[in-house]
Structure 1
């Protein structure tokens, strides 16, 4: 039974990591891509204008 308690944490962490990677891959592109790109472009333009306005 010691081997079960030794293997359980890495197996659980691996399962969560795989689920995280699958979620990230599924959220790339599609309908959300234009909205995400617009948000990044807006943030970059705000940062650029703030940088240019400082002396």
Structure 2
């Protein structure tokens, strides 16, 4: 019976890993892909620092 207890954890992990990969592959693309890409693009553009003004000097008030 030791072989059963030795084989159960790797078998469970293999099944869980298979379902994880299946879920990742199935969630790629689809009808919401454009919406998700737009959200990511908006978040990345908001995270980028603003460009400097031409001339290299900034005017502070």
Aligned-pair RMSD on alpha carbons?
Answer: 1.2
Which consecutive unaligned segments of at least 5 residues does structure 2 have?
Answer: 52-61
1:31 aligned residue: 31
Which consecutive unaligned segments of at least 5 residues does structure 1 have?
Answer: none
Work out the CA distance in 1 between the residues paired with 2:44 and 2:30: 22
Larger radius of gyration: 2
**Distance apart, 1:27 and its partner CA:** 0.5
**Distance apart, 1:32 and its partner CA:** 1.8
Q: Does 1:4 align with 2:4?
A: yes
Displacement over 6 Å in runs of 4+:
none
Instruction: Name which structure has the greater RCO, CA cutoff 8 Å, separation 6+.
Output: 2
**Distance apart, 1:7 and its partner CA:** 0.6
Q: What TM-score do you get using the length of structure 2 for normalisation?
A: 0.76
Q: What TM-score do you get using the length of structure 1 for normalisation?
A: 0.84
| Secondary structure at the counterpart of residue 29 of structure 1 | coil
